[in-house]
Structure 1
Amino acid sequence: MTIHIRKCTLEDLPILQEIGCETFNETFKDQNSPENMKVYLDRAFNANQLETELSNSESAFFFIYVHAEVAGYLKVNVNEAQTEKEGNDSLEIERIYIRKEFQGQGLGHHLINKALELAKEQNKQKIWLGVWEKNEGAIKFYERMGFTQSGTHSFYMGDEKQTDLVMTKMLK
């Protein structure tokens, strides 16, 4: 299996929008109302929002390819782009999603390792992420990758307040 990770550019916006909506919907549609899903998807993955995020020097998106097909993506944030004030010694994994047909092939490990590589290159002390408390598979995956729960924060899915576990991995 040929795997390649590449940083996204503004030219990637249409495929990023497509894969972002697709993977988020696949992951969470069964646990949330269609109305709340639509509100979130329209807000998080509209072209203007993604263009702003792609243009932010403190955020980066990466596609992971299997052979020549986009199989998933990673979004990381540092400094002021982080969704929580975790400090300038931290790198946040804001999104990590793999398309359903590519799950179970170890691609999540490759994306976590990419985030760890970026954090080390930037001399960060820790890497962190938020994961929905009901997403047991993802929580177990992050625990296997060395993350431990360090807190919680609120996440809004439309008008519904949900709780994300904040999980952290120290690097030094």
Structure 2
Amino acid sequence: MIRPADLMDASSLAAIGLEVWLNTYVRNGVNAFFAGYALEHFTAARFEEVLARTDQTVLVSQNSAGLDGFIHIASGAPAPVPDCSDLEIAKLYVQPRHQGSGVGGRLLAAGLDVCADTGRPDVWLAVNAENQRATEFYLRKGFAKAGETRFQIDDQSYPNHVLRYDLTRA
């Protein structure tokens, strides 16, 4: 079931965020640099802040045991490349054991419906350039490459593709 997130979901969102982020980006062992970043950004308090904002939307996928994924949409988020609106899919995270089950596709479809209701012409997202599986997923779902950016953590940066989805298409 896909539904809007509420404040009671904050700790589950933080746990999923931490699990997915570490699984995706930390492949050769956790060091203090990445652990510090992850533990600072994926907290219940941070998600409570997001959920309290009117310019943010979080939808969750819930199964019989609990949450298995979420999509976070942010308004007022200027794209790092030209010709994109200020509507961003900030995160689409699905627990690794549920990837490939359709959860991500259902969350994305529901999220794109929310995006279409904003009246904006498009929505953008950034995806790690090394995450070929995620990039291919978005391209299959109708996103197109709009440019490149870099994800910055302190003094380190990582290449990201910027992908755009045209919300005006039939």
Q: So what's the TM-score if we normalise by structure 2?
A: 0.87
Q: Tell me the distance in 1 between the aligned counterparts of 2:160 and 2:85.
A: 21
Which residue of the partner structure matches residue 145 of structure 1? Answer: 141
Which residue of the partner structure matches residue 14 of structure 2? Answer: 17
Task: For residue 18 of structure 1, report the CA deviation from its aligned partner.
Answer: 1.2
Q: Tell me the distance in 2 between the aligned counterparts of 1:88 and 1:151.
A: 10
Matching of residue 109 in structure 1 with residue 109 in structure 2: no
Aligned residues: 167
Task: For residue 33 of structure 1, report the CA deviation from its aligned partner.
Answer: 5.4
1:152–1:164 Cα contact (<8 Å) kept = yes
Per-residue deviation, residues 118-162 of structure 1 (Å, max 9, x unmatched): 011121210110000100000111110111110122212354211
Task: For residue 39 of structure 1, report the CA deviation from its aligned partner.
Answer: 2.4
Which residue of the partner structure matches residue 51 of structure 1? Answer: 48
Task: For residue 105 of structure 1, report the CA deviation from its aligned partner.
Answer: 0.8
Task: For residue 61 of structure 1, report the CA deviation from its aligned partner.
Answer: 1.4
Task: For residue 35 of structure 1, report the CA deviation from its aligned partner.
Answer: 2.5
Aligned pairs (5 A) from 1:13-162: 13-30=10-27, 34-79=31-76, 82=77, 84=79, 89-162=85-158
2:84–2:124 Cα contact (<8 Å) kept = no
Per-residue deviation, residues 15-48 of structure 1 (Å, max 9, x unmatched): 1111111111122210675223212212311343
Which stretch of the first structure deviates more once superposed, 16-25 or 127-136? 16-25
Q: Tell me the distance in 1 between the aligned counterparts of 2:148 and 2:83.
A: 16
Task: For residue 87 of structure 1, report the CA deviation from its aligned partner.
Answer: 8.8
1:30 match: secondary structure: coil
Task: For residue 12 of structure 1, report the CA deviation from its aligned partner.
Answer: 1.6
Which residue of the partner structure matches residue 164 of structure 1? Answer: 160
Q: Structure 1's 39 and 138: CA in aligned 2 closer, same or farther, altered over 3 A?
A: same
Q: Structure 1's 91 and 50: CA in aligned 2 closer, same or farther, altered over 3 A?
A: same
Identity %: 25
Which stretch of the first structure deviates more once superposed, 26-35 or 97-106? 26-35
CA-based RMSD of the aligned residues comes to 2.2
Q: Tell me the distance in 2 between the aligned counterparts of 1:88 and 1:130.
A: 12
Gap runs ≥5 in structure 1: none
1:133 alignment partner AA: A
Q: Which has the higher helix share?
A: 1
Gap runs ≥5 in structure 2: none
